[in-house]
Amino acid sequence: MSKIRVVHYINNFFAGIGGEEKADIPPEIREGVVGPGMALRSALKDEAEVVATVICGDSYFGENIEEAKTELLEMIKQYEPDLFIAGPAFNAGRYGVACGTIAKAVEEELNIPVVTGMYIENPGADMFKKDLHIIETKDSAADMRKAIPKVAKLGLKLVKGEIVGPPEEEGYLVRGIRTNYFHEKRGSERGVDMLVKILNGENITTEYPMPNFDRVEPNSAIKDMSKIKVALVTSGGIVPQGNPDRIESSSATKYGIYDFSGMDSLTSDKFMTIHGGYDRAYVLENPNLVVPLDVMRDLEREGVIGELANYFVTTTGTGTSVGNAKAFGEAFSKKLVEDGVEAVILTST
């Protein structure tokens, strides 16, 4: 019996090509295993063979999604795989989005099983957990040794058409899929058992977990804008020319605070956008389309607002994890409060 044919997807870093300075490399394919593919080959044992590894830089993929998908699919098709494995990406946001995007494309176009792996707060996990089997990993590649065997085991099960167990058994992220089966105890008995445990102060695991919605209560409306200080915050990726803090074009891990005191508008010779999720042509010509300094100065002169803070806060929103975004807000809001800012205008794209 011939071995199961596997194609593996990794990024520039795990391919050993380089870090951020090589994140713009276009898709390429190599025979056999590369980097973490060695651990994957070991985990697959004699049942499967990694016949090829496709590689793409994270920035290239994020900025050329459709082109990258098309190029990679053509490369993958040549090897006629039975199984496609991407990553694991751990908590690398751009890598996670790329893994999820190409895995979903392979599943839909080639109609073969796909598996990837990510940390639960990776933006790719949130985007694709309902579409794909995503093995839950820890937040760094230090978890590679434990993650790869789970990825391999689940992938083999899918190829063989074996029954895939629940997330807590197989290690993948909850997909929101419920399957009927016969339990040894009827529902009333299980309900009473759980109630008794609760009364005894014991922990229980519900059979119907509810989604967790992170709701934010709105503050009271501002009564008089003419007496308060306002700041501009954006997820539209506006930065000084050259992007001095190297904020990522997608799946941002950092934000920036930039001064515009004494300016009446943002000019294209001093500011640019590095956002990877929209057509940047018009904004590169006029950054005020995303950070409306020109309009805010007019409102300041007219007395509609009391004062405009002399800086703006910026990051990119595309693919940025909820965890990172929340951490950004908690950090820069302290500065806003210290500077007497009482309202923020949050702009996007």
Determine contact, residues 303/226, Cβ cutoff 8 Å: yes
Q: Which residues contact 279 (CB under 8 A, 6 or more apart)?
A: none
Please tell me whether residues 149 and 255 are part of one structural domain.
no
* 50, β-bridge pairs: 6
Regarding whether 234 and 138 lie in a shared domain, the answer is no
pLDDT in tens, 255-284: 999 999 999 999 999 999 999 778 888 999
Residues 236 and 124 in one domain: no
User: Which of 126, 141, 170 corresponds to the end of one domain?
Assistant: 170
In a domain, 60, yes or no: yes
Q: Which of 159, 199, 147, 165 is nearest to 14 (CA)?
A: 147
pLDDT at 21 over 90: no
- 294, part of any domain: yes
CATH code at 133?
3.40.50.2300
Last residue of a domain, one of 134, 151, 170: 170
Asked if residue 129 is part of any domain, the answer here is yes
How many domains would you assign to the chain? 2
Instruction: Examine the fold and report which residue of 138, 170, 202 is the final residue of a domain before the chain moves on.
Output: 170
Q: Is residue 256 part of a domain?
A: yes
Residue 180 is assigned to a structural domain of this protein: no
Task: Give the structural domain span for 301.
Answer: 225-347
Report pLDDT digits (tens) over 175-195: 877 777 788 899 899 999 999
Of 90, 60, 115, 89, nearest to 250 (Cα)?
60
Query: What per-residue confidence (pLDDT) applies to 1?
Result: 59
In a domain, 175, yes or no: no
pLDDT at 217: 84
pLDDT tens by residue, 102-115: 999 999 999 999 99
In this structure, is residue 231 part of a structural domain? yes
Together in a domain, 42 and 155: yes
Does 122 lie in the same domain as 242?
A: no
Contacts 24+ apart (CB under 8 A), 70-74: 71/26, 71/27, 72/9, 72/27, 72/102, 72/105, 73/102, 73/105, 73/106, 73/109, 73/110
Domain-located, residue 188: no
pLDDT digits (tens, 9 = 90+) for 108-153: 999 999 999 999 988 889 889 999 999 999 988 899 999 999 999 9
Residues 59, 162 within the same domain: yes
